Each structure stands twice: as C-alpha cells, then as structure tokens.
Amino acid sequence: MRAILPGSTLGILGGGQLGRMTAMAARSLGYHLAALDPDPSCAARFVVESCITAGFDDVPAARELARQSQVVTVEIEKISVDALRAVQQLVPMRPGPEVLFTIQDRARQKDWLAAHGFPVGPYRKAASEAAVLAAVRALGGKAYVKSTRGGYDGRGQAVVRAEADVPAAWASLGGGPVVVEQALALRQELSVLVARRPSGEARTYAPALNHHVQGILEWSVLPGPFPAGLSRAAEETTTAIAVALGVEGLLVAEFFCTEDGQLLVNELAPRPHNTFHTTEVACATSQFEQVTRAVCDLPLGSTEVLAPAAIVNLLGDLWLKPEPPHFDAALSIPGVTVHLYGKRQARPGRKMGHLSAIASTPEEALRKVQEARRRLGRETT
C-alpha cells in the first residue's frame, strides 16, 4: 500500500461544514482539494480549489471529481452507492461503497450490528402504520420511530409516548419504511471516534460526553468523565466495528449508557463528527487532520488529549434575533474560540458554527463555553 503524499489532490463528496473543516486541515498538510455538493454556495466552496455543483446521485459528476483527485472521501452519508462505485473504479474511495451501503440505511445498519454481535437496543422494522403500532406494543408502548433513510439533527424521527401517537408519527415521517426503537432509560450519551488507515493501523480518541436537545447536539465534552472500564469497552467496541466493516478513514459510534449500566450502540457515522469538533483544540491531532492522514495512508497522529475541552453548537436561531451574535462578548472569556462555517443563510435549527473552550478540567471547559454562549446572545438567565 503506497501513501498518497502531500501535493496530491483529496476529493470530498459533500461540501458542508465537515468538508470545509477537512479541507482546511488538508490544505495545512499540503494537499490540494476538490469537492462535490448540490449547493452552489456550500460551506466548503471557498476553501477548495475545485467545487462541482451536482447531486449526490450524479454518477458522471462523481467520475469528474475522481478524475481531479488521487483519493476521495466523504463528509456525508447520503451519497448514492452508484456514485461511490463510479469513484472507486478510478481512484481509491475511502471509506468504500460497502461501508456507506451498510450505514446509510438505519434498518440495514441495525441488522448488521445485531448480526455481528454488537450490542443494540430492542428495535423492530416497520413499513406500515399497523406494523408501527404492533412494534410499539411489542416494545412496551414508548418508542422512537425513525425513517430508515436520511434524517439528522432530530429530523426524520418522531416520539411515540402512547399508542394514540402512532398515526401522527407515521404521517409525519411520510409513510416510508421506518425503524421503531424502544425508549430507554438513559444515564448518559457518549461517542467514540476511531481512525483506521488502509495498512490497518488504528487509533481511538477518548469517549466524548454528549447532550442533545430535540435531537440536535447542544454540547459535547472531551474527555467525557466516564469510568475507565466503560471508556475501554466503548473504544474496543468501536474499533471492532471499524475492523468488521473494513473502514478506511474515520468511524464514529454513538452509544447509549442505560440506567442499568448497559452500553448500547445507537448509530454509526463513517466521517468526521460534530461530537469531536473538540479535537481541534483539545488533542494533538484534530479529527480533520486525522481523516486526511487516514485516507491518504499516512501514519496516524497522536490522539492524546492535551487539554480538556467542550463545544456548544450555534444554531441559525441566533442570527434571526434583532441583534447579531455578540462574538466579542464570547471571545472575552480566556480559552474560548469561535468557529463559523461560512454558511450564507441562517435558518432555525441550522448549524452555523460552534464555540469551543479549553480548561484544566472537562467540567470547567463546559462552564466556560456555556457562559460564552450566554454572552453571545446577551442572555441574562
């Protein structure tokens, strides 16, 4: 296996904020960048040298990206498998089409995890309202109903607290195939990032502690304050999943830790991840430099945590207030950094950027970044 060295071109399928931040890190390593995204004003456009405006199912456009590149990776799951395979015919596609095929459908992902012996919560698949009702009954009457394809940041899912909620939940999801997951009593939510290069070398980052509001990540802390045994189990499980899938690049496993101590895999993501934006300020190697190293088959960087860190997401709602965000107030707190994604249009719930903070402890980092968020919006309560 030969490394793809600096001076080569890295292609990215997807031009959102993850593609933008990957491109910025790859440029620092000396790579040229090309991207493909359906949005002509995507976040990555102004930090790459070539940006193809095309749909994620556009096979000729994917081939054009491959012709401009020596290796191609992804920053979003919803790339058609045909486009991924077209790239792979010309240059290395990392992660490969089969990894994306398994992960991009929730039902297929759950089935794969269960079949390979990885711990998942109770679930049922359903393709009709009647089947959803039967699944909810079988799972104890409270459940999350999720579309099998698409959906993120709380979209594409509905909460069922009683059987009477099923018709509205089914209608809200468009009547397509769904996964019905039992509502669990959770103690914590955490995630683990593993990087794996084609030669087989793998490195994990410490688990992150995550907090969601209405399905959108609000804040994340690294390293999460977990018992050593729990952290070790989460890291070992994530690495085992990456090996079994044959991942080349990054894989994030999101976990639930239940009140009775079970560690269950919630979802997988074969790309950089919101919960590891902390690595830009906390770790010796950011996830964005690491994905570049991994897909180019360079030696992986150290994942050591040099300083505990926390992030808070900034949603478009902040930009829709009478006054713009007060970035100067947020930056007045030592150790706080502003990260904006260059998106042209703010919408409620849209991720426009994040704040990060470093401190001597994870708890202090979280307090600092939450205070910075309050100052940003001039919140007094």
State mean pLDDT over 367-381.
84
What is the pLDDT, as a whole number, of residue 296? 98
CB contact at 8 A, 134 and 166: no
Nearest to 1 by CA among 377, 298, 266, 346: 298
- Is residue 153's pLDDT more than 60? no
What is the pLDDT, as a whole number, of residue 157? 86
pLDDT class of 380 with cuts at 50, 70, 90:
very low
- Is residue 378's pLDDT more than 80? no
What is the pLDDT, as a whole number, of residue 381? 40
- CA–CA gap between residue 258 and residue 269 (Å, rounded): 21
Bridge partners of residue 12, in order along the sequence: 35, 73
Name residue, tokens 């990392």.
94
Tell me: the pLDDT tens digits for 218-237? 999 999 999 999 999 999 99
Higher pLDDT, 214 or 134: 134
Q: How many residues does the chain have?
A: 381
For CATH 3.30.1490.20, list the domain ranges present in the chain: 122-182
Q: What is the CATH number of domain 9-93?
A: 3.40.50.20
- Is residue 379's pLDDT more than 70? no
Tell me: the pLDDT tens digits for 281-312? 999 999 999 999 999 999 999 999 999 999 99
Mean pLDDT (the chain) is: 94
State mean pLDDT over 316-331.
92
pLDDT class of 156 with cuts at 50, 70, 90:
confident
Quick one: what percent of the chain has pLDDT higher than 70? 98
Tell me: the pLDDT tens digits for 46-83? 999 999 999 999 999 999 999 999 999 999 999 999 99
State mean pLDDT over 275-279.
98
- Is residue 279's pLDDT more than 60? yes
For CATH 3.40.50.20, list the domain ranges present in the chain: 9-93
CATH topology of domain 186-376: D-amino Acid Aminotransferase; Chain A, domain 1 (3.30.470)
- CA–CA gap between residue 27 and residue 243 (Å, rounded): 28
Residues 6+ apart with CB under 8 A from 200: none
Tell me: the pLDDT tens digits for 91-141? 999 999 999 999 999 999 999 999 999 999 999 999 998 999 999 999 998
For CATH 3.30.470.20, list the domain ranges present in the chain: 186-376
Q: What is the CATH number of domain 122-182?
A: 3.30.1490.20
pTM: 0.95
Relative to beta strand 216-222, strand 336-340 is unpaired
What is the pLDDT, as a whole number, of residue 152? 63
